[in-house]
Chains A and B, each alone.
Chain A
Amino acid sequence: MAEKHQHDAPPSPYLEKRRTAAETEALEERVRRLENLLTEKGIVSKKTLDRVVSIYENDLGPLNGAKVVARAWVDEAYRQRLLADATKAIKELGFGGLQGEHMVVVENTATVHNIVACTLCSCYPWPVLGLPPTWYKNPPYRSRIAIDPRGVLVEFGLELDDSIEVRVWDSSAEIRYLVLPERPQGTEGFSEEELTALVTRDSMIGVARINSPS
């Protein structure tokens, strides 16, 4: 099966393009000029721009989502609330806002595997996962995840048995999806903090499972 799926993904030379140093420099200059113009016109301020960068580089990232997942693993009542009304349950832990206004959590089990995507653009739950990785926003994932999710998972090193039901969630509206991964075997005695450290970004997108720590 893996062989068949890999055959479905021919190389794409023009997407491998890398900028030359001169092209990168031109791009940097173009952005500097635009920022200067918008600053001088009073449209933006440097302080505000710096704050935005700091929020997305330091405050919002997959650690937030990992906390949500670990809480659901240790607290059954929280898990129920999370699956019933994710926006509200995530807010309990202090997370929410832009690109996470309407959250839905989908649960992976021994028989169901969920994967999140946005085929039209790059919709992604920023408050709990931060900004999306480049692969999530690029054509190979956005196009093939709809038609060949199992083949895409193989590229992430995850081969699913045919008996498992695959569900792809295409984020076409303002609903943002987070996968609640399966709690790995061998973590029975783990604290919530120890569990948080095991949860990966990819497992919350649904392109990976969480390995047993043993």
Chain B
Amino acid sequence: MNSIHDMGGMTCFGAVKPEEDEPVFHGEWERRVLALTLATSVLFGPLDRRRHVLEQLSPLEYLSYSYYERWLARIEHLSKEAGVFTDEEFASGVVEPSEVVPNVPIDPDTMDSIIRQGDPSGRDSGRSEPCFAVGDRVSARNINPPGHTRLVRYVRGRVGVIHRLHGTHLFPDTTAHDKGENPQPLYSVRFDATELWGSLAPIKDSLFIDLWEDYLEAENG
């Protein structure tokens, strides 16, 4: 989906303003939103599915919410979608009496080991024979997927060179929409700054981005 989250190359947002000695969190509510996000992540499915929820915020919401406000909106959305609580419960903040046996929450040690061990996207299965080799010229396909994609707009139709192969990784575009992991080769592709931004860009500079095989086609000539 072509929306505001795909902002690489825009120049309208002003200067970067680093905060001196910035704390990890700016308030207790940010701590809780981070923790709620991680503690509910197993329940709410693959990371790319959860990323897509943020991408579906309206552009006005996306830009006016702070980072953790977006994450808060996501937990609310996914909780409602999963039927964790009813609209009435969400509105009142009070849980209605129910016959349903309560869920057993993830315990601190299990959560701890999820954080320490991670959730790799690399796969031993799937398409393991890469179509492209280091040094090959490729172009990023000019496609506009309606759902979740990690193919940024600024490389579509542009020509780059395969810099390295990262192995086989689950494919976000299908994983996000419960259409299977579709594991396939993932490449680091190098694009000249002049190819992306025109002849006025510094001639030596370049941008490297990770692109799945389905995002690429061979470039001849």
A and B found bound together: yes
Whether B169 pairs with A173 at a CB distance below 8 angstroms is: yes
- Closest CB in chain A relative to B178 CB, distance in Å: 19
Inter-chain CA distance A37–B85, complex, in Å, is 8
Whether B69 pairs with A27 at a CB distance below 8 angstroms is: yes
Would you call B129 an interface residue if the criterion is a C-beta within 8 Å of the partner chain's C-beta atoms? no
When distances are taken between beta carbons in the complex, the residues of chain A under 8 Å from B14 are 9-12, 15, 140
Whether A146 pairs with B93 at a CB distance below 8 angstroms is: no
Inter-chain CA distance A99–B38, complex, in Å, is 12
Whether A165 pairs with B206 at a CB distance below 8 angstroms is: yes
A48-B10 in contact given A97-B115, A140-B17 (Cβ < 8 Å): no
A28-B27 in contact given A43-B84, A45-B105, A52-B35 (Cβ < 8 Å): yes
Q: Which residues of B (132-178) have their CB < 8 Å from a CB of A?
A: 150-152, 154, 166, 169, 172
When distances are taken between beta carbons in the complex, the residues of chain B under 8 Å from A155 are 15-17
Q: Which residues of A (141-157) have their CB < 8 Å from a CB of B?
A: 141-150, 152, 155-156
Inter-chain CA distance A98–B115, complex, in Å, is 5
Would you call A88 an interface residue if the criterion is a C-beta within 8 Å of the partner chain's C-beta atoms? no
Query: What is the total of A-B residue contacts with beta carbons within 8 Å?
Result: 280
When distances are taken between beta carbons in the complex, the residues of chain B under 8 Å from A173 are 121, 150, 166, 169, 172, 186, 210-212
When distances are taken between beta carbons in the complex, the residues of chain A under 8 Å from B114 are 98
Inter-chain CA distance A183–B65, complex, in Å, is 39
Inter-chain CA distance A12–B105, complex, in Å, is 43
Whether A174 pairs with B7 at a CB distance below 8 angstroms is: no
When distances are taken between beta carbons in the complex, the residues of chain B under 8 Å from A101 are 118-122
Whether B103 pairs with A168 at a CB distance below 8 angstroms is: no
Whether B108 pairs with A57 at a CB distance below 8 angstroms is: no
| Complex partner residue of B118 from A41, A55, A98, CB under 8 angstroms | A98
When distances are taken between beta carbons in the complex, the residues of chain B under 8 Å from A165 are 204-206
Whether B206 pairs with A175 at a CB distance below 8 angstroms is: no
A33-B93 in contact given A42-B105, A141-B16 (Cβ < 8 Å): yes
Whether B17 pairs with A142 at a CB distance below 8 angstroms is: no
When distances are taken between beta carbons in the complex, the residues of chain A under 8 Å from B31 are 53, 57
Whether A134 pairs with B22 at a CB distance below 8 angstroms is: yes
Which residue of the partner chain A has the closest CB to B48?
A174
Inter-chain CA distance A192–B59, complex, in Å, is 47
Whether A31 pairs with B38 at a CB distance below 8 angstroms is: no
Would you call A121 an interface residue if the criterion is a C-beta within 8 Å of the partner chain's C-beta atoms? yes
Whether B205 pairs with A42 at a CB distance below 8 angstroms is: no
Inter-chain CA distance A168–B202, complex, in Å, is 13
Whether A146 pairs with B121 at a CB distance below 8 angstroms is: no
Q: Which residues of A (117-176) have their CB < 8 Å from a CB of B?
A: 119-122, 127, 130-131, 133-135, 137-150, 152, 155-156, 162, 164-175
| Complex partner residue of A44 from B17, B106, B119, B166, CB under 8 angstroms | B106
When distances are taken between beta carbons in the complex, the residues of chain B under 8 Å from A57 are 24-25, 31
Whether A52 pairs with B40 at a CB distance below 8 angstroms is: no
Q: Which residues of A (4-46) have their CB < 8 Å from a CB of B?
A: 6, 8-12, 14-15, 17, 24, 27-28, 30-45
Whether B207 pairs with A49 at a CB distance below 8 angstroms is: no
When distances are taken between beta carbons in the complex, the residues of chain B under 8 Å from A121 are 5, 51, 54
When distances are taken between beta carbons in the complex, the residues of chain A under 8 Å from B75 are 34, 38
Inter-chain CA distance A7–B209, complex, in Å, is 27
22 sample A-B contacts, Cβ–Cβ < 8 Å, listed by A number? A10-B12, A12-B12, A27-B29, A32-B29, A34-B76, A38-B75, A45-B108, A52-B34, A53-B32, A53-B34, A102-B120, A121-B51, A130-B24, A135-B16, A144-B16, A148-B11, A155-B15, A155-B16, A165-B204, A165-B205, A172-B209, A174-B169
CB-CB nearest 8 A-B residue pairs: A119-B8, A12-B14, A173-B210, A42-B103, A42-B102, A174-B121, A146-B8, A143-B10
Give A residues with C-beta under 8 Å from B: 6, 8-12, 14-15, 17, 24, 27-28, 30-45, 47-53, 55-57, 61, 96-102, 104, 119-122, 127, 130-131, 133-135, 137-150, 152, 155-156, 162, 164-175, 202
